[in-house]
Amino acid sequence: MDYAVEVKNLHKTFSSGLFRKRRKSALKGVDLMVPKGTIWGLLGPNGAGKTTLLSILSNLLTPEKGDVRVLGMDIRTHAKDICGRINLSSGHANFLWSMTVRENLEYYAMLYGLSGEKKRRKIENLLDLFRLQDFAKVRFEELSTGTKQKLSLSKALLNDPDLLFLDEPTVGLDPDVAHRIRDMIQHLHDDQGTTILITTHNMKEAEILCEKVTFIMDGRIRAKGTPRDLKKELHLGDTIHLAFQGALPIATLQNMEGIDHIEMKDSSCRIRVDNHRERLPQILDFFTAQRIIIHNINIQESDLEDVFITFTK
């Protein structure tokens, strides 16, 4: 398999304070393999090391130990070759404050080696794509958070990167703007095959966008896989709520395969199962055989948020 990101045994310690004596170990032997062409989520609580990892991958920070290969190249020896083919957009972006949106894009376009008509066309396209035309002449310091984020994403697409790092791209955005940004990320991946490594605290967003996710906590990788794999690994299961009429032989139902727990309340029950898709038909057959009439069925699926909470508890 071709990997866009190959990280092995990565360590990063920050030194700060007086005489740089205060040390904080942010990454403690991280391994991460991201296949080309995927949208991969990097999830974890505040301070877990997500931004540090993305900063090392974008060559903004140097690690003290470990191997980092980006697009098949060693980051230490091929930084220049990698640089033109990757980009990073942060939800907490900082640009040249006194320059306008267009001036900022022109500045970065120049750094990426764009010039003349090609540069003009690229910038116009990005201003259109992110609906930034009305803000083209507004200085960065006057922009709202959402508009700053759109500028950050526009900047990240200037060089048509093969690999894009997105650090909380929708943080603090209105739901409709966040939705549009997610659509753009998905299109970028679907239309251009861009590999995307994204951090987010929005587990719904991760579940919508990411094929696979890696959980990092306190500088160490805790788990990786599809959201479904992780739910299974943690035995999170689903809950089926049933409102019914009749006497339910709980003991028999309790012994059925895949049923973890049953909670009764008047003429309704909550049944925790390993997987509702497999177990609901089974349960419905059981109710029918017992001649119990069901009035209402409600399914509550566990999600990545439950995975996150279980890991961080």
Q: Under rule CB under 5 A, how many of the chain's residues touch Mg ion?
A: 2
Q: Least distance (Å) from ligand ATP to the CB of residue 133? A: 31
228: contact with ligand ATP by CB under 6 A: no
Residues 46-105 contacting ligand ATP, CB under 6 A: 46-52
14: contact with ligand ATP by CB under 6 A: yes
Q: Under rule CB under 6 A, how many of the chain's residues touch ligand ATP?
A: 12
279: contact with ligand ATP by CB under 6 A: no
155 binds, among ligand ATP, Mg ion, none (CB under 5 to 8 A by kind): none
Q: Least distance (Å) from Mg ion to the CB of residue 13? A: 17
227: contact with ligand ATP by CB under 6 A: no
Q: Least distance (Å) from ligand ATP to the CB of residue 18? A: 13
Q: Which two tokens stand for residue 173?
A: 């955005």
Q: Least distance (Å) from ligand ATP to the CB of residue 64? A: 14
Calpha distance 196→206 (Å, rounded): 12
51: contact with Mg ion by CB under 5 A: yes
224 versus 279: smaller Cβ distance to ligand ATP: 224
Residue with CB nearest Mg ion? 51
DSSP class per residue in the chain: --EEEEEEEEEEEEEESGGG-EEEEEEEEEEEEEETT-EEEEE--TTSSHHHHHHHHTTSS--SEEEEEETTEETTT-HHHHHTTEEEEETT----TTSBHHHHHHHHHHHTT--HHHHHHHHHHHHHHTT-GGGTTSBGGGS-HHHHHHHHHHHHTTT--SEEEEESTTTT--HHHHHHHHHHHHHHHHHH--EEEEE-S-HHHHHHH-SEEEEEETTEEEEEE-HHHHHHHTT--EEEEEEEES---HHHHHTSTTEEEEEEETTEEEEEES-HHHHHHHHHHHHHHTTPEEEEEEEEE--HHHHHHHHH-
44 binds, among Mg ion, ligand ATP, none (CB under 5 to 8 A by kind): ligand ATP
How far, rounded to the nearest angstrom, does the alpha carbon of residue 241 sit from its chain's CA centroid? 30
Specify the stretch interacting with Mg ion by CB under 5 A; choose among 27-35, 47-55, 99-107, 122-130. 47-55
Specify the stretch interacting with ligand ATP by CB under 6 A; choose among 43-51, 188-196, 238-246, 266-274. 43-51
14 versus 97: smaller Cβ distance to ligand ATP: 14
283 versus 304: smaller Cβ distance to ligand ATP: 304
Q: Least distance (Å) from Mg ion to the CB of residue 92? A: 8
Write the CB contacts of 274 (distance below 8 Å, at least 6 apart in sequence): 232, 235, 237, 238, 258, 260
203: contact with ligand ATP by CB under 6 A: no
Specify the stretch interacting with ligand ATP by CB under 6 A; choose among 1-9, 41-49, 131-139, 158-166. 41-49
Residues 283-302 contacting ligand ATP, CB under 6 A: none
Look up tokens 């990997």; give the residue. 3
50 versus 102: smaller Cβ distance to Mg ion: 50
Calpha distance 270→35 (Å, rounded): 40
Which spans of this chain sit near ligand ATP (rule: CB under 6 A)?
A: 14, 16, 24, 26, 44, 46-52
Which spans of this chain sit near Mg ion (rule: CB under 5 A)?
A: 50-51
